[in-house]
């Protein structure tokens, strides 16, 4: 029995509703939006050297072919599941995978837009897509970058970049990315999707980590939606790094062929580095022995280079030369000393007028209130 390739009345009604919604979203009447689509079709057809009718027929044939391929895949998946006896959750994970490497090369205009956006600060985040690390950005940041003066300057130099005047034209430019498979819309996956488990309660103090995302079938362009980069850009840095590593490995392998002076220099350098490391360990052992002796002779004990293993800079690790071991009492005295100094400062500043003391107290309260990071400050825009 032959399958009908034409759309059903329900599908036509859904297409019309989407058409009217897209026209209202861009602030146009349906007639204006239809004329805008016609102009865009004519421009795309002229770029490929076709008439509008030929270009539309080509798009129809492509859509019909994709629809037939999806139907064939939908028919083959249940048969494969029954023949191979796969688990239901494994079948579910397979149906979510969407191919993102078509044979058609990306358009030059889409490549130009992708290169410009990759050079801008879109505040990308790292996510996991199909087990690989990818960079993710928000649509609103792409809109801002395309409406910035930097884009106007880049457009004057590169004629392939489309003209952007407002958010509607910026949306049209961003639409080039998923059409050429340079970026795709993604959403965060639910670990309990497909199961009867209840969703875990949201924690307002959640520590942000890596999202595991999936590609959405509907490629929409709302400002708060996320898109993941499939276009990696020029890989000259990675290639240069790989070439450098290869040259270094070859140089180490060919060490017997080095000139005698160069080999002697490397030998002296390695001996000197080993001597410095040995001296460091000897100093650490000596300061520990010195502390063990002084903790009984002159308590609470003396440390040589007390900041040697502290999280400080290189030169600060050797300052001061020595210091006494800090006990709980000395720490409390230091804290109380700092508090009394602060109170004295407030008292002195308040002897002139009452306004100065109040202002100082307010400034101190504001400073204390902002010492800890807030949840709102840590959240992404």
CB 45 within 8 A of CB 55: yes
Give, in order, the Cα–Cα distances in Å from 216 to each of 96, 136, 174, 227, 267. 9, 14, 16, 10, 59
Given this model, what pLDDT does residue 311 score?
Answer: 80
Average pLDDT over residues 208-232: 86
More confident position, 35 or 84: 35
Task: Name the token pair of 136.
Answer: 């993710």
Question: Looking at residue 338, what is its pLDDT?
Answer: 57
* Peptide bond just before 362 cis, omega within 30 deg: no
Strands 322-324 and 226-229, how do they pair?
unpaired
Specify the pLDDT at position 374: 45
User: Residue 129: which of 65, 212, 47 has the closest Cα?
Assistant: 212
C-beta of residue 162 within 8 angstroms of C-beta of residue 176: yes
Range scoring the smallest mean pLDDT among 11-25, 308-322, 367-381? 367-381
Pairwise CA distance, residues 127 & 135, whole Å: 6
β-pair type (302-304, 322-324): antiparallel
DSSP conformation letters of 221-287:
--TT-EEEE------HHHHHHHHHHHHHHHHHHTGGGS-HHHHHHHHHHHHHHHHHHHHHHHHHHHH
Phi, psi values for residue 186, rounded to 5°: -130, 160
% of the chain with per-residue pLDDT over 70: 71
The DSSP H or E segment spanning 364 is helix 354-369
- What angle do helix axes 9-25 and 30-47 make, rounded to 10 degrees? 100
Spatial distance between the Cα atoms of 40 and 42, rounded to a whole number of angstroms: 5
How far is the C-alpha of 288 from the C-alpha of 301, rounded, in Å?
Answer: 10
Average pLDDT over residues 144-152: 92
Write down the pLDDT at residue 196.
56
Stretch 211-221: mean pLDDT = 88
Report pTM.
Answer: 0.40
Contact 72, 79 (CB under 8 A): no
User: Mean pLDDT lowest for which of 25-34, 125-134, 167-176, 233-242?
Assistant: 25-34
Average pLDDT on 259-266 reads 92
The pLDDT value given to residue 204: 44
Give me the chain's average pLDDT, please: 75
For the ranges 100-104, 136-140, 232-236, 284-288, the lowest mean pLDDT is seen at 100-104
Q: Are 92 and 189 in contact (CB under 8 A)?
A: no
pLDDT confidence bin for 88, thresholds 50/70/90: very low
Are the CB atoms for 116 and 204 separated by under 8 Å?
A: no
Q: What is the pLDDT of residue 97?
A: 39
Q: Give the position of tokens 């290639």.
A: 239
Residue 154, pLDDT above cutoff 80: yes
- Kindly indicate the confidence band of residue 107, based on its pLDDT and cuts at 50, 70 and 90: confident
Asked if 281 and 311 count as a contact pair (C-beta separation under 8 A), the reply is no
Cβ distance 178 to 231 under 8 Å? no
């Amino acid at each position: 029995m032959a399958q009908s390739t034409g759309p059903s009345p329900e599908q036509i009604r859904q297409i019309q509703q989407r058409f009217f919604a897209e026209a209202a979203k861009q602030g146009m009447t349906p007639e204006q939006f239809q004329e805008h689509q016609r102009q865009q079709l004519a421009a795309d057809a002229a770029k490929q050297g076709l008439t509008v009718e030929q270009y539309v027929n080509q798009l129809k044939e492509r859509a019909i072919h994709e629809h037939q391929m999806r139907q064939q895949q939908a028919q083959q998946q249940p048969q494969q599941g029954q023949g191979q006896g796969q688990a239901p959750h494994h079948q579910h994970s397979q149906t979510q995978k969407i191919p993102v490497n078509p044979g058609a090369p990306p358009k030059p205009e889409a490549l130009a837009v992708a290169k410009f956006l990759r050079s801008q600060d879109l505040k990308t985040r790292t996510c996991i897509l199909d087990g690989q690390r990818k960079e993710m950005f928000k649509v609103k940041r792409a809109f801002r970058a395309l409406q910035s003066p930097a884009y106007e300057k880049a457009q004057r130099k590169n004629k392939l970049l489309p003209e952007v005047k407002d958010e509607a034209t910026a949306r049209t430019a961003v639409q080039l990315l998923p059409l050429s498979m340079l970026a795709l819309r993604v959403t965060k996956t639910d670990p309990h999707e497909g199961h009867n488990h209840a969703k875990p309660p949201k924690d307002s103090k959640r520590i942000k980590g890596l999202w595991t995302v999936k590609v959405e079938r509907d490629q929409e362009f709302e400002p708060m939606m996320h898109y993941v980069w499939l276009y990696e850009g020029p890989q000259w840095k990675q290639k240069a790094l790989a070439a450098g590593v290869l040259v270094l490995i070859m140089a180490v392998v060919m060490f017997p062929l080095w000139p005698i002076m160069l080999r002697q220099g490397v030998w002296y350098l390695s001996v000197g580095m080993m001597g410095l490391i040995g001296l460091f360990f000897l100093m650490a052992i000596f300061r520990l022995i010195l502390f063990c002796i002084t903790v009984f002779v002159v308590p609470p004990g003396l440390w040589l280079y007390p900041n040697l293993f502290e999280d400080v800079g290189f030169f600060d690790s050797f300052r001061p030369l020595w210091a006494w071991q800090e006990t709980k009492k000395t720490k409390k005295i230091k804290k109380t000393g700092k508090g009394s100094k602060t109170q004295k400062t407030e008292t002195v500043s308040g002897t002139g007028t009452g306004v100065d003391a109040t202002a100082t107290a307010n400034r101190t309260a504001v400073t204390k209130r902002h010492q800890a990071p807030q949840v709102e400050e840590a959240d992404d825009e």
